[in-house]
Amino acid sequence: MAQRYDIAIVGAGMAGASLAAALGGRARVLLLEAEVRPGYHATGRSAAFWAESYGGPGVQPLTTASGSWLQGHGFLAPRGALTIARAGQEAAVEAFAARFAALGVRVEILDRAAIAARVPGLRPGWTMAVFEPDCRDIDVAALHQHYLAAARHAEAELWCSARLVGATATADGWRLRLGNGPEVACGLLVNAAGAWADAVAALAGARPIGIRPLRRTMVQIRVAPAAPAELPLVLDLSERFYFKPEAGRLWLSPHDETPSPACDAAPEEIDVATAIARLEEAVDWTVERVERRWAGLRSFAPDRLPVYGFDPVCPRFFWFAGQGGFGIQTAPAAADLAARLLLGEGAGAVDPAPYAPARFC
């Protein structure tokens, strides 16, 4: 007879791992991961920052609610974020600052002199910025390992090289077929499959929501003069680049969002070149060498908010997907929200309503 679990979670990236940990032994949990090791896809490829404005006002409650837990557990380090703008963008700067100040995010508008003091070599033309002092770097690998260890401690089982290939609804749950052989049974099926979320829904007979994987490129470069350690995360208000220092190097992205099938994403040369060209529009530093390049898939629902909750039509099928570019910085609050819904507990720090899958009906 197939082994039976209360909850099977498909995907052991940040989403699946954090949820398995949040369930905390209150259910018999199986975590299924297609790859030989968890964290190989989006989770292992992030830019590793926590910024309350990133992802927009609809995501901010999850980011803010995650902050104190991440800080208290030692996963954050000071960084600061500077969203820079050109002459002519004054109204957009004011609106950006006002939008997040109204939500309780600490923001400060800086003039050219104050920006140049924080970003040496800033080219002329960048005249204003919104500074977020509370932005932090996140130790993503340590956070993911923490969740996996907590899940293990709570007696959740992690099966790697265990791709879900079939899911059949039964009277009291699901019968799952795995690519590596065994069948298992579970009561609730959680879709935490990142870029594969729609494909996993289709496997289970649930209607796909239209979660689209978009490729994002990162490069690690050596610049002269060397990137100062205290440089903030610098983002372009027009969303054409961001960069931050990392151990004497610079991590840089052209802020690309290229539609992609769900796959093992790889960077394209044109995106690497675009990233460097855009950096050179912002600062007068010399790019000496591209040391590393990588790409990952950020997966978005049509309204770019995450999708957390039971499917309104397909019984016992739970969405934990669409974490876009904010799935690390929101992980603690999102996992708490999802665990409460799965266990039928009352709402926690964040209202689940805006994230309910029923909004796509």
| CA atoms of 179 and 32, how far apart (whole Å) | 11
Q: Does 42 bind ligand FAD (CB under 6 A)?
A: yes
Buried b (16+ CB within 10 A) or exposed e, 101-130: eeeebebebbebeebeebbeebeeebbbbb
Q: Are 275 and 257 in contact (CB under 8 A)?
A: no
Q: Does 328 bind ligand FAD (CB under 6 A)?
A: yes
Q: Does 15 bind ligand FAD (CB under 6 A)?
A: yes
Q: Nearer Cβ to ligand FAD, position 86 or 322? A: 322
Minimum Å gap between C-beta 250 and ligand FAD is 15
Q: Does 189 bind ligand FAD (CB under 6 A)?
A: no
Minimum Å gap between C-beta 329 and ligand FAD is 4
Determine the angle formed by the axes of helices 60-72 and 331-343, rounding to 10 degrees: 100
Using the contact rule CB under 6 A, the part of the chain among 10-18, 69-77, 79-87, 119-127 near ligand FAD is 10-18
Q: Nearer Cβ to ligand FAD, position 173 or 194? A: 194
Per-residue interface string for the shown chain with ligand FAD, residues 114-143, x marking contact by CB under 6 A? ------------------------------
Residue from 21, 22, 23, 48 that binds ligand FAD (CB under 6 A)? 48
Minimum Å gap between C-beta 48 and ligand FAD is 5
Helices (H), the chain: 14-23, 60-72, 90-101, 112-118, 140-153, 197-203, 269-282, 331-343
DSSP 63-83: HHHHHHHHHHTT-EEE--EEE
| CA atoms of 30 and 152, how far apart (whole Å) | 10
Q: Are 52 and 105 in contact (CB under 8 A)?
A: yes
Q: Does 206 bind ligand FAD (CB under 6 A)?
A: no
Q: Does 65 bind ligand FAD (CB under 6 A)?
A: no
How many residues of this chain bind ligand FAD (CB under 6 A)? 40
CA 52 vs CA 56, 83, 192, 340: distances in Å? 8, 12, 23, 23
| CA atoms of 84 and 110, how far apart (whole Å) | 9
Q: Does 323 bind ligand FAD (CB under 6 A)?
A: yes
Q: Does 41 bind ligand FAD (CB under 6 A)?
A: yes
Q: Are 206 and 24 in contact (CB under 8 A)?
A: no
Q: Nearer Cβ to ligand FAD, position 245 or 324? A: 324
Minimum Å gap between C-beta 17 and ligand FAD is 7
DSSP 321: E
Interaction site with ligand FAD (CB under 6 A) = 10-16, 32-35, 40-43, 45-49, 163-164, 192-196, 200, 216, 218, 296-298, 323-329
